[in-house]
Amino acid sequence: MKKRNNQPLPLSVEQSKLLGSTLRVKILGVLLDTPKTTKQVAVQIGETPGNVHYHMQKLHQGKLIDLVEEKRAGGVIEKYYIARAKSFESEDGVYPELNPNYKSASRRSMNIALQLKEEDKEQLFEEVHELMEKWIVKTTAADYINEEEFVMDFTLVSRKEKTEEEK
């Protein structure tokens, strides 16, 4: 089986667009840790297998999920997929709703300034990543089908400006 990289997967503009669909994000959430078939994913998130198959094909074509195994079950070949990464990053931003000028019906934000050691910075980022993962898994359940959609971003920005050599 293909070994996954635990680093965030850098996204192209096309891949970012694929993640604009809540259903596709749910599918990725189900495929974070365990390879599954389209049917298994559909049952877990309460969607039709045909609809899930379509979106999984788009995710596979966009190189966001990998086909890791094929098993013959009777006359059918079951295909097992897994997410290529547990997290993704995009310079262009995946969600236009995160723009402060977006006229959202509901918006909440938090801001804080911290002094961090290098290891603290990594630990903080990992803890926030784990929290986001927990919520992805929780909200992929079938009872979250028609709930209001939200997008979230975590950005850790140094107040130190780049030097001329770094630019």
User: What does each of the 167 residues of the chain score in pLDDT, given as a tens digit?
Assistant: 455 556 778 888 888 888 878 889 889 989 988 999 999 999 998 899 999 999 999 999 999 999 999 999 888 899 999 999 877 777 666 677 777 788 888 888 888 998 999 999 989 988 998 898 888 778 877 677 778 888 888 888 888 888 888 77
Radius of gyration of the chain (CA): 18
The one-letter code for the residue type at 30 is V
Question: For position 61, what pLDDT does the model report?
Answer: 96
Nearest partner of 135 among 52, 25, 9, 38, judged by Cα: 25
Burial class (CB in 10 A: 0-12, 13-18, 19+), 107: exposed
pTM of the model: 0.67
- What's the CATH code, domain 9-93+105-144? 1.10.10.10
DSSP state of 119: H
Question: For position 16, what pLDDT does the model report?
Answer: 82
With contact defined as beta carbons under 8 Å apart, do 47 and 23 qualify?
yes
